[in-house]
Chains A and B, each alone.
Chain A
Amino acid sequence: MQRNLFAVPAAVVAAALLVAGCGGSSASSGAPAAADSGPATGTITFTGTDNAETYQPVIKAFEAKNPGIKVAYTQIPFDQFNATMQQRLSAKDTGVDVYTVDEPRVSQLAAKGFLVDLSDLDGQVKTGFSAAAYKTNHFRDKLWSLPMWNSTQFLFYNKTALAKAKVTPPTADPQQRWTWEQVEAAGRKAMQSGGTKYGLFMEQPEAYYQLQPLAESLGGGSGIEGDDALTPAVETDGWKKAMQWYGATFASGLSPRGIGGFQTGPVFAAGDVAFFVGGPWDLKIFGSSKIDWGVAPLPYFQGGKPVTPTGSWSLGINPASKQQAMARKFLEFATLDPAGNLATTSTTTIIPANVEAQKQYTPTMDAFSGAKTAGAAAITTYESEHTAVSRPVSVGYIQFEEVMGKTFADIRNGTNPDTRLQEATRQLTDAWKSIK
């Protein structure tokens, strides 16, 4: 007995070492090393969050145009993408050649040496993309990634439920945009009349991308300020008001708690919610649902201004890649070449970032799901010209997004918004201490 029990601590030490091993190796910093641009033919790997079907058309078109180069796509689910990439890039994993880059993360990825400098393409990006897309892919006056997609948000509404509640639905005209107060009142009517379980639901209820417009609509700012963009500013009146309203939508049952990730869209598609805030990708996804629905512009707060989110994924090259010449070819085809850029959007209905591709693409949006999507093209054009606000450019954006995501989750679950925002300021100050 005695002898056998002595074996146990040995097992524990081994297990403890396993824990220690999970710490991983140190992240490198500084400029990326200039690498050999590698062979002209072979297979490159492309890593992103979307399912494989999304990129099949662009990969097929690229391979047809570039015989000898194959592209293998690897999907990492959205929830795990940023953390996994952080891990793989810091380990100088050569298994990643091209990867999707969330635009506000460009600064930190570049600062950490996780992106190849693409400044020689600066001129082409300046003329081929919007000013916002051009700017967000820069850090310290250098170009680090090429914009692939753009986005906006729509207010989807359940026509049947609103008719049952005797509510006239919002129109697609941006000049007649509803306020959040109107949406809330109409949503409650739909719930009371028994048309739906919930009044309003956002597709990404804990994501900064979708909630930034609430605070910005009330003049609350982006949440980041200062010359180095490393000073938290989430306790402004606009942020407090927006978060009080947001928390109350869950406390009152207007929006459901406990449903997150990618379980939100099906709630609308099942006819359980009157109003749903979602992106252009939903224009086709909801087309296969059995409910009758329409699209309207994203609401704003009464007395505030209309603000809509923008930006999406860019493409970047891993400095540890041994096949950078081929990786660049693919990157340029998928972004700078209008045909290639359009091919990235042929299965997922997301807006192409290339201006030329966008011109061809936007008019088709109205017909994505028959009459249901009427007006989507005009809304998209209007928002990109008048209301689109990018996420803040900061070397500390990654920490910001993590802290804010948890803050939104807690507010959604019933924590007092004012004290939680105060807590967020403390957490941001702590997290940014190591960057400064």
Chain B
Amino acid sequence: MKQRQGLIALAFLAPALVCLAVLRIVPAISAVIESFYTESLLRGGRVFAGLGNYTDLLSNKDFRQSVGVTLLFTVLVNPIQVVVSFLLAVLFTQRAVGSKLWRTLVILPIATPPAVSAVIWSVIYRPDGLANGVLERLGLPAQPFLTSSGQVLPSLIVLLSWIGVGYWMLFLIAGIQEVPVEVREAALLDGAGAWRRMVSVILPLVRRPLAFVLVADTVSNLLVFAPVQILTKGGPNGNSNLLMYDVYSRAYAIGDIHVAQAEVVILVALTLAIVAGQFRLLRGDQ
């Protein structure tokens, strides 16, 4: 009987398992294998290069800059997005007039594909665009945004937060609504203020969704691609050349698929290292 149940479960799982193998595991293994090969267009033929592609990458100035930019981006964007999502979630779970409407407006950008969001923001960031129009109204000088080496990363962070914050907020709203009413009422009766209730009551009780949001947000931000490709192409001077875009650029624009695959392996390793670190930190606090 048990064996039969197992077979039935396997049959139900089979399509998913086959897809996982064909679409994920096989390409991943192939990427690792191909990263050890090189191919010459003039001489033709594929030759084993060992760690050649990896050493080429590590000695490449543009790649090292790309790793640096990606790490800086990760350090900046994730805490900003998690904190803003949490604050918005707390705000929009209050019983206040119009909070449902505001919540909907914040969630709305999720429905917009990243490429469309990028196009919208390309117009906002133009020298004569909406952002500079607002600054002008406020009596502030016009800013270069995407054309400045110093402002390009913050500009992308604002754009990506506009897209992402509403999405992550949804998980946290669900978490906050799970907090038992009695606990909140008890805190209220004990005379805890709004700040105290948020820090000492809500925050510890939404740690699970918060941990999920932090990890999933980190992975999603390490895969940022469309806005970079559409708005900056990694520039100016490589200051927005995030690893995912660099992989694409090497594979399909420059056309060096083997080096690109070596870079993919490095990106995966980096993602795992960062997330494992986060996971350890979260576990250590138990």
B219 partner residues in chain A, CB cutoff 8 A: 11-12, 15-16
A19 partner residues in chain B, CB cutoff 8 A: 222-223, 244, 264, 267-268, 271
Interface of B is mostly: helix
Q: B235–A409 contact, CB under 8 A?
A: yes
Q: A20–B268 contact, CB under 8 A?
A: yes
Q: B211–A5 contact, CB under 8 A?
A: yes
Q: Does B109 contact A (CB under 8 A)?
A: no
Q: Which of A79-87, A186-194, A354-362 contacts B (4 or more CB under 8 A)?
A: A79-87
B251 partner residues in chain A, CB cutoff 8 A: 23-24, 87
Q: B41–A22 contact, CB under 8 A?
A: no
A16 partner residues in chain B, CB cutoff 8 A: 219, 268, 271-272
Q: Identify B247's interface contact among A2, A23, A29, CB under 8 A.
A: A23
For the complex formed, measure the closest distance between the CB of B51 and the CB atoms of chain A, giving whole angstroms.
15
Which residues of B in the span 211-258 have a Cβ within 8 Å of any Cβ on A?
Answer: 211-212, 215-216, 219, 222-223, 229-230, 233-237, 244, 247-249, 251-258
Which residues of B in the span 242-286 have a Cβ within 8 Å of any Cβ on A?
Answer: 244, 247-249, 251-261, 264-265, 267-268, 271-272, 275-276, 279, 282-283, 286
For the complex formed, measure the closest distance between the CB of A82 and the CB atoms of chain B, giving whole angstroms.
7
Q: Does A417 contact B (CB under 8 A)?
A: no
Q: Does A413 contact B (CB under 8 A)?
A: yes
How long is the Cα–Cα vector from A430 to B64 in the complex, in angstroms? Answer: 14
Number of interface residues of B (CB under 8 A): 79
Q: Take A8-B215, A413-B148, A427-B62 as given contacts and tell me if A29 and B39 are in contact as well, using a CB distance cutoff of 8 Å.
A: yes
Q: Does B4 contact A (CB under 8 A)?
A: no
Q: Take A1-B286, A17-B25, A21-B24 as given contacts and tell me if A415 and B237 are in contact as well, using a CB distance cutoff of 8 Å.
A: yes
Contact with B along A1-44 (1 / 0, CB 8 A): 11011001101111111111111111101100000000000000
Q: A17–B252 contact, CB under 8 A?
A: no
B23 partner residues in chain A, CB cutoff 8 A: 21
B167 partner residues in chain A, CB cutoff 8 A: none
B234 partner residues in chain A, CB cutoff 8 A: 406
Q: Does B46 contact A (CB under 8 A)?
A: yes
Q: B283–A30 contact, CB under 8 A?
A: no
For the complex formed, measure the closest distance between the CB of A144 and the CB atoms of chain B, giving whole angstroms.
15
A79 partner residues in chain B, CB cutoff 8 A: 229-230
Q: Identify B235's interface contact among A26, A256, A410, CB under 8 A.
A: A410
Which residues of B in the span 128-150 have a Cβ within 8 Å of any Cβ on A?
Answer: 128-129, 144-149
How long is the Cα–Cα vector from A362 to B211 in the complex, in angstroms? Answer: 66
Q: A27–B276 contact, CB under 8 A?
A: no
How long is the Cα–Cα vector from A398 to B188 in the complex, in angstroms? Answer: 66
Q: Take A20-B264, A402-B249, A406-B233 as given contacts and tell me if A258 and B283 are in contact as well, using a CB distance cutoff of 8 Å.
A: no
For the complex formed, measure the closest distance between the CB of A268 and the CB atoms of chain B, giving whole angstroms.
14
Q: B236–A409 contact, CB under 8 A?
A: yes
Q: A4–B208 contact, CB under 8 A?
A: yes
A171 partner residues in chain B, CB cutoff 8 A: none
Closest to A84 in B: B252
Q: Does A131 contact B (CB under 8 A)?
A: no
Closest to A415 in B: B237
Interface size on A, as a range, is: 35 or more
Closest to B123 in A: A263
Q: Does A232 contact B (CB under 8 A)?
A: no
How long is the Cα–Cα vector from A410 to B239 in the complex, in angstroms? Answer: 11
For the complex formed, measure the closest distance between the CB of B221 and the CB atoms of chain A, giving whole angstroms.
11
Closest to A111 in B: B41
Q: Does A108 contact B (CB under 8 A)?
A: yes
A27 partner residues in chain B, CB cutoff 8 A: 39, 255, 257
Q: B147–A22 contact, CB under 8 A?
A: no
Q: Identify A87's interface contact among B31, B32, B46, B252, CB under 8 A.
A: B252
Q: Does A90 contact B (CB under 8 A)?
A: yes
Q: B45–A9 contact, CB under 8 A?
A: no
Q: Take A17-B25, A19-B223, A409-B235 as given contacts and tell me if A12 and B275 are in contact as well, using a CB distance cutoff of 8 Å.
A: yes
Q: A2–B34 contact, CB under 8 A?
A: no
Closest to B62 in A: A427
Q: Does A322 contact B (CB under 8 A)?
A: no
A112 partner residues in chain B, CB cutoff 8 A: 41, 255
**Chain B residues within 8 Å of A, Cβ to Cβ:** 23-25, 27-28, 30-32, 34, 37-46, 56, 60-62, 122-123, 125-129, 144-149, 207-208, 211-212, 215-216, 219, 222-223, 229-230, 233-237, 244, 247-249, 251-261, 264-265, 267-268, 271-272, 275-276, 279, 282-283, 286
**Chain A residues within 8 Å of B, Cβ to Cβ:** 1-2, 4-5, 8-9, 11-27, 29-30, 79-80, 82-84, 86-87, 90, 108, 111-112, 197, 228, 256-259, 261, 263, 395, 398-399, 402, 405-406, 409-410, 412-415, 426-427, 430-431, 433-436
